[in-house]
Amino acid sequence: MKETIEKVSIIISKGSLEGIYPGLIMANGARAEGIEVNLFFTFFGLDAIYAKRHEHIKLATVGNPGLHFATWAGGLPGVSSLMTHYMERKMGTLDIPSIPDFMEMIYETGAGIYACKASVDLFGLEKNDLIPEVQDIITVGEFYEKAAGGEIIFT
């Protein structure tokens, strides 16, 4: 019998477009394979579930050599917005959902969605600042309890 993965817990720690999407795609893809999934949002990754901000996630145009821009060009006013807009349009043509839509869909798949308590406290947030799909604000210890018996992926 082929070896299978039964459960994954994915940590999203970055708040940029390219920092958030991979974890969401892996979470959604795991559910599609019938794998149990927990998503844990920590540090700037919290922006993906912060109701005021999750529609305004930007692509990092500074310190991102993958864009093959001159470093100074990435820092010009408006460049990040422009590149984000361009990327979002391209993703739209491939039917990749926006971050808010993606979060809703992942919730519908039955994945667990959790916020890191230390980060929520650090940013002075409360449960009702987060999107309704968030099940709970949990400590790192509680995260490990939920992750027990599965794989952990840090992004």
Partner 1 sequence: MTTTNVDIPGVELNEEGFFVHPEQWTEDIVPELARREGIDELTDAHWKVIRFMRSEYLEKGAGPTVRALGKTSGVSVRELYQLFPKGPAKVAAKIAGIPKPRGCI
By the criterion CB under 8 A, which residues form the site for partner 1?
1-2, 25, 28-29, 31-34, 94-97, 105, 108-110
Nearer to partner 1, 33 or 145 (CB): 33
CB of 145 to partner 1, least distance (A): 23
Nearer to partner 1, 37 or 46 (CB): 37
CB of 28 to partner 1, least distance (A): 7
Nearer to partner 1, 55 or 95 (CB): 95
Whether 30 contacts 108, CB under 8 Å: no
CB of 132 to partner 1, least distance (A): 14
CB of 31 to partner 1, least distance (A): 7
CA distances in angstroms from 123 to 10, 54, 84, 88, 105, listed in the order given: 21, 15, 24, 27, 26
CA distances in angstroms from 5 to 10, 30, 31, 108, listed in the order given: 13, 9, 11, 21
**Burial profile 133-154: b = 16 or more Cβ within 10 angstroms, e = fewer:** bbeebbeeeebeebbeebeebe
Nearer to partner 1, 97 or 142 (CB): 97
Residue 27 three-state SS: helix
